[in-house]
Amino acid sequence: MNNTMNLLTMITPAMMIPIFPLLGFLILSLFGKKLGLMSGWIASMAILGSFLCSINLFIGLEGDQQLNFSIFNWINSGDLQIEFGFLIDQLSLIMLLVVTGIGFLIHLYSIGYMHHDEGFTRFFSYLNLFVFFMLLLVMGNNYAVMFIGWEGVGLCSYLLIGFWFKNPDYNNAAKKAFIMNRIGDLGFLIGIFALIFHFGTLDFIDVQNQLTGFESNAPILVFITLMLFIGATGKSAQLPLYTWLPDAMAGPTPVSALIHAATMVTAGIYMICRSNLLFALAPYTLHIILIVGVATSLFAAIIGIKQNDIKKVLAYSTVSQLGLMFAAIGLGAFESSLFHVMTHAFFKALLFLGAGSVIHAMGGEQDIRKMGGLSKSIKITFVTFLIATLAISGIFPFAGFFSKDEILAKAFEHNLLAWALLSISSMITAFYMFRLLFLVFYGQFRGTEQQAKHLHESPISMTFPLMVLAILSAFGGFFGLPAVFDSTHQLNVFLAPIFNASKLVTTEVHALSHSQEWMLMGIATFAALMSIFFAFSLYIKKQQLPENDADLTGFSKIVANKFYVDEFYHKVFVNPIMIISDLLLVLVDKLIIDMVVNLTAIIVDALGRLYRLIQTGSTGFYLIAMVLSMVIVMFIQIIL
């Protein structure tokens, strides 16, 4: 009894979580012009409010308690009933904390980063709208509400990538992101329709309860999960739909940090974790996910080596890390994947914000060949960036070490090939991240005189989020200590209610022995250190610089050009569609439709002109016409 009462009191804070950013968005879009720089603070406070409510829920919900409530009946059609409701459980709580917590820090950072921009209030209103939709996505208690959030974040992502809409390249990048996401969304939608068709409901819990009767690998489950996974590949930038994410770096850097590193791109993983029992019952799909994840991870990491734009390096690194998370899902290790989502959110947000601070100091320069030696002039940025780099490279005891190690250990249990490839990918990651670090912060300054004078540390509103994130990146890994440290894996314990059911249906592999775990950790650390040393010798000792694009040859040229995937897509998909639409324009639209339409218009117009002649203006004629029609009517009436 006490428990239910307790739960009921928590509906209000749960409702407030999405309402805060929605209010923020409304206020900013209605009164933004008058608010000026205040708008940044209003937006940040809105997110802080959501964050505090999330903490309230986090403290209030105990054990495996869930808060599942409906706000109104949304769609009623025949047997199908879809509610607009929220589900707060351990899974959504983790995401809520990440989204609102990091979201708040990034809002704060943006106040400093964007304060020269003329679109300041517009930026914050979009940002608040994004957080609102992201919260809907995370909190929805069925696939339909999740889909609203899913589409909403896609829209905001589009708006924010094209934020500086005067540059046509940025607009193209925004359109590309939108279209690629639409391809994935189509899969997601088909999956949703299939769910309605077979289960008659979209409610997460109802679907899960109905799953008990299904065999592993039942064709319908494989189909549904594959479709949902296609949706996830779009949103989370996996092969083959990943090319929009690097282009999405056209948006302001805080956007890259919030949307394209920490939150939106992990929506695909969240969605799969949400449906974990569904996926656990479809091992075929899991196998495909594993293949796609490993391939994406390796592929993107290789491209990352040859990128010279500071944000592009981070973008490919994000794609690669997302691949790692999908690989974890493919191995059936949903909670490990989620662990990495969390730590990745910390250090990748930090890396992007640090990159933003560097760009800010350099007056907008993004090419790492024109930086160098920045560690002296922007100390806080340097130290935090270093921590994040250590974290992503998987150096003990930083956050990335634990989460990455956990996934690698799971891979070692299930599939040796996957383990080997993921390890290589991790090595490459360590290499290109330290290449970035060395080129930006060490050696001689290679920019212009003017830039050298302009160099300065960012204001406190920007460095404060960096420091908080640095702490999280450094210690965030302790939420999930591996078994060898003889302590509880807090995250797994916390998430246990979510994944218990799917644990029962996945094939159990005997756990690794402690010596094996030590060995794996040793290998991973050694490999990372080797990579760092290699990068050190190249870029510090030999003081090498990346070649100019024109001087590249052979394989490195192919890598620098991202394996020509964009060009390939352009030739194979975009151009044929353009040709077909040109053809349709000339043949169908101009020739047939226009002719039919214009001809109709001409005929109707001519009739109108003719008809007008009856209106002569002579009263006598009018009266005769009236009387004549009466006579005719009477005549007909008599005949009838």
Partner 1 sequence: MNTLIYTSVLGFGLMVLEVLKLRKWISPAIILGLSLIFGINIHDWNQPGSYMGNMLEISNFTVAFNALAIFITLLIAMLASEYYSDEEHHISDYMAIMTFVLCGAQMMLGYANLVLFFIGIETLSISLYALSGSKRFDAKSNEAGFKYFLMGSFASGFLLFGIALMYGATQSFDLNKLAEYAMGTSVSPLFLTGLLLVLFALFFKVSAAPFHFWAPDVYEGAPSIITAFMSTLVKVVGFAAFYKFLHVFGYLIPVKFDWLITLVAILSLVTGNLSALAQENFKRLMAYSGISHAGYLLIGLVGAAAFPSSAILYYGLGYSLSTIGAFAIAMAVFKSTGSESISAFNGLGKKNPVLAACLTATMLGLAGIPPFAGFFGKFYIFSEAIQNGHFYLVLVGILSSMIGIYYYMKVVIAMYAKPANETKIEISLTNQLVMWLCLVLVLLIGIMPSLVTGLF
Binding site for partner 1 (CB under 8 A): 601, 604-605, 607-609, 611-612, 615, 617, 619, 621-623, 625-626, 629-630, 633-634, 637, 640
Q: Between 8 and 626, whose beta carbon lies closer to partner 1?
A: 626
Q: How far is the CB of 619 from partner 1 (least distance, A)?
A: 6
Minimal distance, residue 596 CB to partner 1, in Å: 13
Q: Which is nearer to partner 1, 73 or 629 (CB)?
A: 629
- Taking the least distance from each CB to partner 1, the nearer of 507 and 637 is 637
Range 143-150, long-range pairs (CB < 8 A, 24+ positions): 143/192, 143/195, 143/202, 143/204, 144/74, 144/75, 144/82, 144/192, 144/202, 145/74, 145/84, 145/85, 145/86, 146/271, 146/274, 147/188, 147/189, 147/192, 150/185, 150/188, 150/231, 150/235, 150/267, 150/271
Nearer to partner 1, 31 or 622 (CB): 622
Question: Which are the contacts of 9, defined by CB distance < 8 A and separation ≥ 6?
Answer: 60
**Least distance in angstroms from the C-beta of 614 to partner 1:** 8
Cβ proximity of 426 and 530 under 8 Å: no
Q: Which is nearer to partner 1, 591 or 632 (CB)?
A: 632
In the complex, the smallest distance separating the C-beta of residue 616 from partner 1, rounded to whole angstroms, is 9
Q: Mapping DSSP to helix (H, G, I), strand (E, B) and coil, where does residue 298 land?
A: helix
Residue type present at position 341: V
Measured from the CB of residue 132, what is the shortest distance to partner 1 in angstroms?
Answer: 24
Least distance between partner 1 and beta carbon 11 (Å): 29
Which stretch of DSSP H or E encloses residue 277? helix 276-280
Based on CB atoms, which residue is closest to partner 1, 509 or 607?
607
Q: 5 vs 614, which CB is nearer to partner 1?
A: 614
Question: Of 1 and 638, which has the nearer Cβ to partner 1?
Answer: 638
- CB of 80 or CB of 634, closer to partner 1: 634
Residues 265 and 322: beta-carbon distance below 8 Å: yes
Cis peptide before 240 (omega within 30 of 0): yes
Beta-carbon count within 10 A of 43 CB: 32
**Residue with Cβ nearer partner 1 (2 or 619):** 619
Beta carbons of 556 and 548 less than 8 angstroms apart = no
Task: Compare residues 5 and 636 and give the one whose CB is closer to partner 1.
Answer: 636
Amino acid occupying residue 247? D
Pick between residue 583 and residue 623 the one whose CB is nearest to partner 1. 623
Shortest spacing between CB 640 and partner 1, in angstroms = 8
**Residue 197 φ/ψ, nearest 5 degrees:** -65, -40
Smallest gap, in angstroms, from Cβ of residue 30 to partner 1? 18
Q: In angstroms, rounded to a whole number, what is the distance separating the alpha carbons of residues 229 and 207?
A: 17
Give the nearest distance from C-beta 81 to partner 1 in angstroms: 23
Whether residue 244 contacts residue 183, with contact meaning beta carbons closer than 8 Å, is answered with no
In the block, tokens 């934020």 appear at: 163
Question: How far is the C-alpha of 296 from the C-alpha of 276, rounded, in Å?
Answer: 21
Residue 5 or 638 with smaller CB distance to partner 1: 638
Measured from the CB of residue 33, what is the shortest distance to partner 1 in angstroms? 17
Query: How near is the Cβ of 48 to partner 1 at its closest, in Å?
Result: 36
Query: What are the structure tokens assigned to 406, written together?
Result: 């956990």
φ, ψ (nearest 5 deg) of residue 445: -70, 130
Give the whole-angstrom CA distance, residue 181 versus residue 241: 8
Give the pair of three-digit tokens for residue 163: 């934020």
CA distances from 57 to 134, 141, 263 (A): 18, 16, 20
Q: How far is the CB of 594 from partner 1 (least distance, A)?
A: 16
Burial class of residue 457, CB neighbours in 10 A (0-12, 13-18, 19+): middle
Minimum distance from CB of 435 to partner 1 (Å)? 56
Place of tokens 């509103």: 461
Q: Nearest-CA neighbor of 135 among 22, 281, 44?
A: 22
What phi, psi does 253 have (nearest 5°)?
-60, -40
Query: Closer CB to partner 1, residue 80 or residue 606?
Result: 606
Provide the minimum distance between the beta carbon of 588 and partner 1 in the complex, in angstroms, as a whole number. 21
Q: How far apart are CA 69 and CA 59, in angstroms?
A: 19
